[in-house]
């Protein structure tokens, strides 16, 4: 009744539908192992995992190595099309990760397959949000967010035919709480379990999976055993140059380098973007190129709009107020601009969320302020977005002692600790909680406005690699 697509393994599947993809050797070997070849070559022995002796594979990989785009995507789609009545259940700890990483790559690849198959193919995939089905094979891919314990227990293999297979994929599982993993383990009947993540803190489920295993590459895997493989920048040619640049600038001991490029587990506190030690200095006021600057974090409704004013790296004043009407908000801000005799090109405003339309109103009133969005593309591509790039520039300002540290040292202790731990993983595929960024964003944007704007204005093209924003 069921007619799976004829393809021997996930690597062959990749060559069939994506011949232009130049997979790295480790990616091919991993795909072959996930297809049952014990040593990652088609000449090695092949196993057929069962629910009694499943294939359990943990992939500990550097940021940007292609975990989602290639390994998860190809393994999932291979099982969908080439195995009869098979279920692929993939999860991640956050909706953002699930939607913008895991689902995005699987959907793009599925759409590409449909383009090649044509509208009349019996293998054409039906793609809906977080669900892909193949009528010919009778198989499906389901994605769900595993942030609630009660939602993770209802997945089991198809009841027909007996022995139908199921793969569980836990993506970026360094962020999964133990209680969630325990709930996922109630999804009985799986014969494949795949853990995929970049490393985080040396604790929790993923850390245990990377330290307590039965065998690790290049040893062969075995059914019913726990297998592990670690991927660093050395396995990914496209990461060689970013790793070299970061290493030369920050050193091999830098926790970000160790975590993101060497795929090592590092304590979160050592990943602090701005450590307390960096702030232990007295700022010596010296006129410099920064001049008079202001930054604004906009809000309408119950939250506060905050405007911070700086001169030559020294903190002058901060204004906080609640305003529910955008017209009145615009008026209050313009009054402050005039009070401090600011120029429009020296004012940086957060353009995220409701910020963009408010900025347009401010500009319509004759103030052509600069807007910045944290999710914009960075100038330096080793960073995941503009907000991350600005955060690292903030760190550099403190290291060089070019700004007054007192505003951050005056914060309440709990909030200060929250801010100082901003950088969990700051490079590609960074996982950043909303709470962490919300706590840090106003200070980072307002403080950075001085340096970022002056760099942009004075070294428009020469210094683009370190500038933290561009006019919208």
- How far apart are alpha carbons 441 and 374 in whole angstroms? 9
Measured in residues, the chain has a length of: 472
Residue 30: its H or E element: helix 25-34
Q: 3-state DSSP call for residue 170? A: strand
Q: 3-state DSSP call for residue 132? A: strand
Question: pLDDT by residue (tens digit) across 223-249?
Answer: 999 999 999 999 999 999 999 999 988
pLDDT at res. 451: 40
DSSP line for 306-371: EEEEEETTEEEEEEEE----HHHHHHHHHHHHHHTT--GGGEEEE-TTTHHHHHHHHHHTT---EE
- Laid out side by side, the sheet with 305-311 consists of 314-321, 305-311, 292-297, 347-350, 370-372
Q: 3-state DSSP call for residue 195? A: strand
- CA dihedral angle for residue 32, residue 38, residue 41, residue 45, rounded to 10 degrees: -120
Closest Cα to residue 156, out of 211, 89, 221?
Answer: 89
Mean pLDDT in order along the chain per 10 residues (472 residues): 95 97 97 98 96 97 95 98 96 86 95 96 96 97 74 78 92 88 88 95 92 96 97 97 90 86 80 67 74 87 85 85 91 94 90 87 93 83 74 76 74 43 34 33 39 39 31 25
pTM above threshold 0.75? no
Q: How far is CA 186 from CA 76, 191, 386, in A?
A: 21, 13, 40
């Amino acid at each position: 009744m069921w007619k799976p697509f004829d393809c021997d393994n996930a690597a062959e599947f990749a060559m069939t539908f994506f011949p232009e993809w130049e997979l790295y050797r480790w990616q091919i070997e991993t795909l072959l192992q996930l297809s049952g070849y014990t040593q990652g070559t088609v000449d090695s022995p092949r196993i057929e995992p069962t629910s009694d002796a499943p294939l359990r594979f943990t992939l500990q990989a550097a940021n940007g190595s292609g975990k989602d785009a290639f390994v998860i995507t190809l393994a999932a789609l291979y099982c969908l099309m080439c195995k009869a009545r098979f279920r692929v259940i993939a999860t991640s700890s956050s909706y953002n990760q699930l939607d913008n990483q895991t689902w995005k790559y699987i959907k793009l690849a599925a759409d590409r397959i449909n383009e090649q198959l044509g509208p009349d193919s019996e293998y054409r995939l039906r793609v809906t949000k977080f669900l892909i089905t193949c009528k010919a094979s009778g198989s499906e891919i389901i994605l769900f967010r595993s942030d609630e314990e009660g939602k993770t227990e209802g997945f089991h293999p198809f009841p027909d035919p007996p022995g139908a297979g199921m793969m569980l994929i836990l993506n970026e599982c360094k962020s999964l709480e133990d209680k969630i993993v325990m709930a996922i383990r109630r999804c009985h009947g799986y014969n494949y379990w795949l853990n995929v993540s970049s490393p985080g803190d040396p604790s929790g489920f993923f850390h245990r999976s990377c330290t307590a295993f039965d065998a690790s590459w290049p040893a062969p895997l075995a059914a019913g055993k726990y297998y592990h493989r670690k991927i660093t920048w050395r396995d990914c040619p496209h990461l060689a140059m970013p790793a070299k640049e970061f290493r030369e600038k920050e050193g091999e001991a830098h926790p970000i380098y160790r975590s993101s490029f060497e795929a090592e587990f590092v304590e979160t506190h050592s990943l602090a973007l701005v450590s307390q030690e960096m702030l232990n200095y007295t700022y010596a006021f010296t006129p410099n190129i920064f001049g008079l600057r202001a930054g604004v974090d906009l809000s309408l409704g119950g939250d506060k709009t905050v405007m911070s004013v700086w001169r030559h790296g020294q903190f002058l004043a901060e204004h906080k107020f609640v305003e529910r009407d955008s017209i009145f908000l615009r008026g209050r801000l313009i009054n402050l601009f005039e009070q401090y005799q600011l120029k429009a090109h020296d004012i940086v405003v957060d353009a995220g969320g409701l910020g963009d339309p408010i900025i347009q109103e401010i500009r319509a009133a004759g103030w052509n302020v600069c807007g910045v969005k944290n999710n914009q593309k960075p100038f330096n591509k080793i960073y995941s977005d503009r907000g991350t790039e600005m955060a690292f520039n903030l760190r550099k300002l403190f290291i060089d002692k070019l700004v007054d540290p007192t505003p951050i040292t005056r914060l309440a202790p709990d909030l200060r600790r929250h801010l100082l731990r901003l950088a969990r993983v700051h490079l590609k595929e960074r996982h950043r909680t909303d709470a962490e960024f919300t706590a840090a964003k106003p200070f980072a944007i307002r403080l950075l406005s001085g340096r970022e704007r002056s760099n942009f204005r004075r070294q428009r093209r020469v210094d683009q690699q370190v500038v933290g924003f561009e006019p919208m």
